[in-house]
Structure 1
Amino acid sequence: MQRAAHLLSNSTLVPKQYQSTWVKRDKYGNQEGPTTQNPNAISNCVLALNMSQRLGADPLMIMQNLYIVEGRPGWSSQFITAAINACGKFSPLRFEIEDLGEQTFEWSEKVWEQNPQTGKNFRKDVSQKARLKNMRCVAWAIEKATGERISSPPVTIEMAVLEGWYGKDGSKWKTMPEVMLRYRAASFFGKLYAPELLMGIQTAEEIHDTIDLSEMSPGSFGFDEEPKPMTMDDIKATLPQAATSEHINVDTGEVTPKEMAPAREKVSVQEKPHVQKEKQAAPKEPAPQPQQQNNLNPNALNQNAFPCPRTDGERMVTEADCEKCSMRPRCPEWDNVELPEEG
């Protein structure tokens, strides 16, 4: 088997995942760059020979219809139809397609967007809505041993939308829906009535519809990059961009003019007005002050003063006091205010 695998790996008629060397050529057929060795060629050929023996099929046919998707083998849909027709248990596979009329469908698609702050691309879910022609497909055949007509479960465009197949990157459901309906119906038929032909292997189209993949190397598919957690910069990039005279609250997404942005407006100062009016109406001669007023600073009478959040409102301060305060960077009063860089 190793000698047969070595012979096949040196052939240029087998797919590239089985070839011992990879050569990149330009559009004129000239070689570009050095020749790359494929360390998995012999092993892949041995596995293909083993599967051909188990199925009683030609090794070259197995190689041409078996794909490696994210480390998992997958049959082409054409191979499944051919295997069912050639097994001798059924009549040739037939398909029934019924038009169910137009319906409004909603689905989610992933698109790539660039973060203007970091320059990196990130994936974003975008909701789509459109009216599509819903169709229903059933694969059927006559079982020769009993003469009974057997059918696959129905496959519809609505199923493709609900299962998430329709919105995948590069999905063929949008461009050739009738072909994809037949492929999926044939796969369902083979899984139910001829599982020994598929040996538990899904079709390459099913694996593509399950996860987002792209071709990583000849004959092998996988993820473009490992999924990474979304950072705060990525989250901020999805928020609306503020104008120069506007301020965006990152927590709520509210857009307000910059002069209204400081958070001190949220601090209630309604408890002080009547006290201040009493002090303004008091006689000019000094009057005895209660013990509680000894803690007030001179800013208590200032109309522009506001309660200090670091003292739970017990002390009145002004913006000038805050600018001199050494604890300003960690003060909740200044969380949403852009502070000048310290020289």
Structure 2
Amino acid sequence: MTATATLEKMRAPAVREAAPVVTMGFGTSQSFELMQRAANLLASSTLVPAAYRKVIEKLDKYGNVKESRENPNALANAVVALNMAQRMGADPLMVMQNLYIVEGRPSWSSQWIIAAVNGCGRFSPLRFDIKALGEKTVERVETVWENGNRSVVTKKVTILDKVCIAWATEKETGERLESPAVSIEMAVKEGWYTKNGSKWQTMDEVMLRYRTASFFGKLYAPELLMGLQSVEEAQDIIDLHPDGSYTVASTSVDELRGGARAAAAQPAQPAEVVERKPAPAQTDSSEMEKPEVDTADAPAGEPEHGNAGDAGAAGPTFQDVNRELLQASSLEDLDYARSLIKQLPDETQKATLNQVAARRMRELAPPDEPAAQPTRRARAPINAD
């Protein structure tokens, strides 16, 4: 039998089930949408670093906005920061303030690493022991590239050496835990000390503490750092390659090699064409002996060919046109040789031959006739130069 429905029961509102709690994440569409909404809110704030802002503003010396541009990566960067904050159980704004992007790789600030170790509850507050070792000269071997060739250079640096370790006591066992020792000598040999703008030369004790704190966190609390290095390490560490070369800052060895290849690939400048004087007349003043043309007049690597009449369908070459210019015995012949210049594809060769043609025109022009008005031949156009 079915239960009797009373009027009171029908009027009573239906009990609704509680909506499931949605948390930020990538698991469901609702959680992903919630994360994007939170990231959009933070990206609109001016309290987050520039890498997470929707609009990056550039101020002048008076604090006024003189330029602004949109940041297309702001929302994506904020989503990544929110995901890391959720996995670590930390405040999202605190993560954004201490997470830096160096060459596309996220890195923690050293202050964050020290605070994370001190606040995790597993260790006593982090402490540092620094000991001065005295003055010494340290040699560093560097690989440099000059004109596409690799060479090894040994540099000597005089330093006041110091060594530092970071230590803390594990609360559960009472054991003293120490980081690897870091010294100024190590900084020189690793290339941290000699980089342009390096803080190792001006703030050596601070950098020693930062580096040992980073090493301590990587060894004893890697889950706090999530596998990330400190921002100082990202700026200092030199990437070594299997061939012994290394990368400094943002300039890679491949870029250095590419510059050398580009310089080597540039075409050689053509040799200057040396004008040859025609031989003196033997029998008749109107007939001049044809001078021999030296193959050295052509640019380096230019093969020797016959005269312009034998050039065939391939067209005249630099050597052919140069020979016609030097062997011209009248202004009419010179004008014909000048008409061949425009058929050459190389602009440098054209300019060189035009200079030769100008000198030959001055030589062949009569004293009482201007050299700039030679007789034109109608069978071929004339180069405007």
TM-score, normalised with respect to structure 2: 0.53
Residue aligning to 1:187? 214
- Over 3 Å counting, the alpha-carbon distance change for 1:227 and 1:85 in structure 2 is same
User: Are the counterparts in 2 of residues 109 and 168 from structure 1 also a CA contact under 8 Å?
Assistant: no
Amino acid in the other structure paired with 2:229? Q
Question: How is 1:74-89 mapped onto 2 (pairs within 5 angstroms)?
Answer: 74-89=107-122
Give the aligned length.
Answer: 228
> Secondary structure, in 3 states, of the residue corresponding to 1:11?
coil
Q: 1:156 and 2:183 equivalent?
A: yes
Deviations, residues 66-87 of structure 1 (Å, cap 9, x unaligned): 0111111000011000000000
Question: How is 1:209-288 mapped onto 2 (pairs within 5 angstroms)?
Answer: 209-211=236-238, 223=250, 227-229=255-257, 230-231=259-260
User: Are the counterparts in 2 of residues 110 and 169 from structure 1 also a CA contact under 8 Å?
Assistant: no
> Secondary structure, in 3 states, of the residue corresponding to 2:137?
strand
Amino acid in the other structure paired with 2:56? W
Counterpart Cα distance in 2 of 1:165 and 1:145 = 36
Residue aligning to 1:73? 106
Residue aligning to 1:198? 225
Residue aligning to 1:24? 58
User: Are the counterparts in 1 of residues 54 and 71 from structure 2 also a CA contact under 8 Å?
Assistant: yes
Cα deviation, residue 131, structure 1: 1.9
Amino acid in the other structure paired with 1:160? A
User: Are the counterparts in 2 of residues 138 and 155 from structure 1 also a CA contact under 8 Å?
Assistant: yes
> Structure 2 residue aligned with 1:90, among 116, 119, 123?
123
Cα deviation, residue 154, structure 1: 0.5
User: Are the counterparts in 2 of residues 15 and 63 from structure 1 also a CA contact under 8 Å?
Assistant: yes
Residue aligning to 2:45? 11
> Structure 2 residue aligned with 1:137, among 164, 171, 189?
164
Amino acid in the other structure paired with 1:39? P
Cα deviation, residue 157, structure 1: 0.9
> Secondary structure, in 3 states, of the residue corresponding to 1:146?
coil
Residue aligning to 1:175? 202
Structure 1, unpaired ranges of 5+: 116-123, 213-221, 236-322, 331-340
Counterpart Cα distance in 1 of 2:73 and 2:296 = 64
Cα deviation, residue 28, structure 1: 1.0
User: Are the counterparts in 2 of residues 81 and 93 from structure 1 also a CA contact under 8 Å?
Assistant: yes
Cα deviation, residue 232, structure 1: 7.6
> Secondary structure, in 3 states, of the residue corresponding to 2:80?
helix
Name the % identity: 59
Instruction: For CA contacts below 8 A with separation 6 or more, give which structure has more relative contact order.
Output: 1
Counterpart Cα distance in 1 of 2:143 and 2:96 = 33
Q: 1:42 and 2:75 equivalent?
A: yes
User: Are the counterparts in 2 of residues 102 and 131 from structure 1 also a CA contact under 8 Å?
Assistant: yes
Deviations, residues 189-232 of structure 1 (Å, cap 9, x unaligned): 000000000111011111111259xxxxxxxxx83798242438
> Secondary structure, in 3 states, of the residue corresponding to 2:39?
helix
Residue aligning to 1:106? 139
Structure 2, unpaired ranges of 5+: 1-34, 240-248, 265-292, 302-351, 357-385
- Over 3 Å counting, the alpha-carbon distance change for 1:99 and 1:148 in structure 2 is same
Cα deviation, residue 129, structure 1: 2.7
- Over 3 Å counting, the alpha-carbon distance change for 1:20 and 1:326 in structure 2 is closer
Amino acid in the other structure paired with 1:143? E
Q: Give the root-mean-square deviation of aligned CA atoms.
A: 3.3
Amino acid in the other structure paired with 2:204? P
- Greater gyration radius: 2
> Secondary structure, in 3 states, of the residue corresponding to 2:255?
coil
Deviations, residues 121-155 of structure 1 (Å, cap 9, x unaligned): xxx99864332111110000000000111100100
Counterpart Cα distance in 2 of 1:199 and 1:141 = 20
Residue aligning to 1:146? 173
Counterpart Cα distance in 1 of 2:100 and 2:143 = 25
> Secondary structure, in 3 states, of the residue corresponding to 1:180?
helix
Q: 1:166 and 2:193 equivalent?
A: yes
Cα deviation, residue 18, structure 1: 0.6
Structure holding more strand per residue: 1
Counterpart Cα distance in 1 of 2:152 and 2:204 = 23
Cα deviation, residue 234, structure 1: 7.1
- Over 3 Å counting, the alpha-carbon distance change for 1:204 and 1:125 in structure 2 is farther
Amino acid in the other structure paired with 2:87? R
> Secondary structure, in 3 states, of the residue corresponding to 1:3?
helix
- Over 3 Å counting, the alpha-carbon distance change for 1:110 and 1:6 in structure 2 is farther
User: Are the counterparts in 2 of residues 85 and 91 from structure 1 also a CA contact under 8 Å?
Assistant: yes
TM-score, normalised with respect to structure 1: 0.59
